[in-house]
Amino acid sequence: MRNYQILVVEDDKEIQELIKQFLMTQNYIVETASDGLEGMRKFNKQSYDLILLDVMMPNLRGFEMAQMIREQSNVPIIMLTALEEEQHQMKGFDIGIDDYITKPFSFHVLIRRVEAVLRRSYDQSTDNHLVFKEVHVDCDAYKVYVNEVEILLTTKEFEILQLLLQNEKKVLTRERIIEKAWGYEYCSETRIIDTHIKNIRKKLDIPYIKTVKGIGYKIDE
């Protein structure tokens, strides 16, 4: 089962902590931010699978943050707000958010909405095929092809390559790759990622896996 990573941007500390704890009970990996500026800083440092975004926040409102995200990413966004007027909901959908939940809300309903948005957003892309230049990944069959020639990878090599392709052109830290490919139970040296990347590069013989010095890796032209 994929461990989705969620960024919760909420200025009410009590609500923020409740959302975090409830999501974590459902095995989601959760990070938090207390306003839009902090949220954007975190978003720009790493990739997330879903953003839960409050509307009324200091420094940078949710609508403005959503707009900034949409200028660079199609990551799913669910807005959380006490604003019930239809015009506010329509504004969010016009920006390109994926769902809109008004406060107060049931945490069980929140989980169902999160599950639905993640299913719509990722089921097709993660369970079928990923293509980048001459690289073709069949995610269902765990097969990789370069120029239509199958390349044999280990399971972990496959999962790392798949993760890079799913986050095309975004830098993934070694820690992020560990979290996704191994889960939190893996506590060894993160430099093991370097060995896997070296093997993937050697087997695929492609120039697209880039090292970002001191941070991690990305796949890019």
For residue 200, give the nearest of 188, 212, 187, 217 by alpha carbon: 217
Given this model, what pLDDT does residue 84 score? Answer: 65
User: Is the pLDDT at 90 greater than 60, yes or no?
Assistant: yes
Same domain, 196 and 109: no
User: Which H helix or E strand runs over 15?
Assistant: helix 13-25
Alpha carbon distance 111, 30 (integer Å): 13
Boundaries of domain holding 166: 129-219
Same domain, 46 and 101: yes
Same domain, 160 and 191: yes
Q: What is the pLDDT of residues 37-69, one digit of tens each?
A: 999 999 999 889 999 999 888 888 889 999 999
* Residue 16, C-beta contacts closer than 8 angstroms, at least 6 positions apart: 8, 10, 32, 34
- Indicate the pLDDT class of residue 2, thresholds 50, 70 and 90: low
Same domain, 57 and 40: yes
Alpha carbon distance 37, 42 (integer Å): 9
Same domain, 117 and 9: yes
Q: What is the pLDDT of residues 190-209, one digit of tens each?
A: 677 888 899 999 999 999 99
The two most distant CA atoms of the chain are separated, in Å, by: 56
Q: What is the pLDDT of residues 154-180, one digit of tens each?
A: 888 888 999 999 998 899 998 888 887
User: Which H helix or E strand runs over 116?
Assistant: helix 107-127
Taking the whole predicted model, whether its pTM rises above 0.85 is answered as no
Contact assessment for residue 92 and residue 66, using Cβ atoms and an 8 Å cutoff: yes
What type of residue is 144?
V
